[in-house]
Amino acid sequence: MAAKTARNEGGPLRPLSSLANNLPALLLRLGLLSLLDAWGIWLVYRFIFDGAGTLAAALAIVLLFINIVFLRGAAMPLRWIAPGLAFMLLLHIYPVLFTAYTAFTNYGDGHLIEKPLAIRQLEAQQYLPENAQVFTWTGFRSADGQYALWLQGKDGVAYFAKPGEPFLSPGQVLGLGPLDENNIPTTIAGYKRLGKKELFKALADLQGQKFGPEIGAVQVKSLKEAAQLQQRYVYDAAADAMIDQSTGKVYASVDGTFTAADGDILRPGFPTSVGFLNFKRIFTSPQLRGPFISIFVWTFSYAFFSVLLTFALGLFLALVLNTEDLPWRRPMRVLLIVPYALPAFISVLIWRGMFNPILGIIGTTWNPGWFTDALWAKIGILIVNLWLGFPYMFLITTGALQAIPRDIYEAAIVDGANGFNQFWRITLPLLLISVGPLLVGSFAFNFNNFTIIDLYNRGGPPMSGTPTPAGHTDILISYTYRLAFAGGRGADYGLASAIAILIFIVVAAITLFNFRYTGMLEEVSENV
């Protein structure tokens, strides 16, 4: 008789005995998946409750992917890389997509929390009606942790108030102890009177509770006063508006802010779509257009000259040290790599110290304005970047020079080519084929090289007359950072995200163009 078989996790038929052997591992896997799913579902619920629907959707997709991978036998090869793929989706792909989404919103100061949270915060605000009563209060706590208040009005009338129960006059309170000099009971049966230290600890819990009946309930205002506070703002979902119960004023939802007809607004607001407004601000706002264009031009110049100067110096040193009969060639090659081995932030700070006009070895001797003059600050940054970048170019060009066949030069000499012609028509074209992609990568790196800009002078000297924080040596990435995180005038994440998208488009276009140019060089090299 044929052995009984079963299909294992969507895979091929396997004997039932093999399933029994794998049962502990299967149960362990299901148990861990159940814990992960329970935690993930709770997070998805919390994200949806707080209005973060996109993050909830991303987490739900990751959970579904992990369950498919670990429950289906056909997906077994993916189990080893599933955690990495999940983290890549949540920590890389999702932030990129969220940045692109943010560029089309008003996300920033005043609009940082999602709409449900903004509504709850506004509805939590209270006010004191004109005819409401104000009391002084004393706190009591029962053995099971329930709080109660002894209230004393300005007219001398006293009440004992419990949450959700009617006010009790002194004569209605069971177990009322003797009164002190302030007419406050020293003891109440089942309750302990709270001292000052205990009141401080319990104040946060007391302020969130209502004492007395639903209508006319009393809430704690401070350590001394309690009053019949009422909710000030009520959200009308049908009209998508907040109603101020103290004045009757209606605040309609306008571009992520509850706004009244007279222009009065409520804070906090919430993020909402604004279309291409952020991109329009970049190109049409006179205040933004001025610093943006200047920073955009300097970013290109900085990346271009950084690559050009480091490549030129690195190639020059590589050509010099490529001479076979040069003495001490190997030790000199090692010494030239030392700047590349030091962390960039240390080297930048050392150069900044040397340019210091008071203590620096360069700044005290010659100080044209390394930090205060816009032009010389840019030159100083290029000098620092030249020191940091030429060892890398020296390394890659040295390796590329070793790969060029010597017989090509011998044939060129026979044809009468001098040293310049050999370099221009043989060495440089063949070098660019090898190092072209690396030059493109270096350009993209320097286009977003935040470290040098921030450590050298934090983008300074500052530009005058700009509504957004901007400096003469700021590049697009540092300008974006200041807009989003360090502006001092309020964060504008929507505008910063729009600039980040422009940076991506520019770098991608330049990269494609350079790779196309590198392909043309390869075609030319075939005829060399």
| Mean pLDDT score across all residues of the chain | 85
Q: Is-contact 394 431, C-beta < 8 A? A: no
Q: Do the bridges between strand 230-231 and strand 233-236 make them parallel or antiparallel, or are there none, so unpaired?
A: unpaired
Q: What are phi and psi of 218, to 5 degrees?
A: -110, 140
**What percent of the residues of the chain are helix, what percent strand, and what percent coil, each to the nearest 5?**
55, 15, 30
Q: Is-contact 77 14, C-beta < 8 A? A: no
Burial class (CB in 10 A: 0-12, 13-18, 19+), 116: middle
C-beta contacts of 397-402 below 8 A and 24+ residues apart = 397/311, 397/314, 397/315, 397/318, 397/431, 397/435, 398/318, 398/321, 398/322, 398/333, 400/430, 400/431, 400/434, 400/435, 401/318, 401/319, 401/322, 401/427, 401/431, 402/322
Maximum mean pLDDT: which of 45-49, 76-80, 127-131, 451-455: 451-455
Q: What is the DSSP letter of 247?
A: T
What confidence score (pLDDT) does residue 287 get? 67
For 252-265, the DSSP string reads EEETTEEE-TTS-B
What are 333's two structure tokens? 């090659």
What are 25's two structure tokens? 């591992």
Q: Residue 491: which residues within 8 A CB-CB, separation 6 or more?
A: 108, 109, 483, 484, 485
Give the mean model confidence (pLDDT) for residues 237-265: 93
Give the mean model confidence (pLDDT) for residues 326-337: 82
pTM higher than 0.85: no
What confidence score (pLDDT) does residue 10 get? 46
What does the alpha-carbon distance between residue 300 and residue 220 come to, in Å, rounded to a whole number? 60
What confidence score (pLDDT) does residue 390 get? 93
Q: Residue 259: which residues within 8 A CB-CB, separation 6 or more?
A: 251, 252, 253, 265, 266
pLDDT band at 80 (very low <50, low <70, confident <90, very high): confident
Residue 270 pLDDT exceeds 60: yes
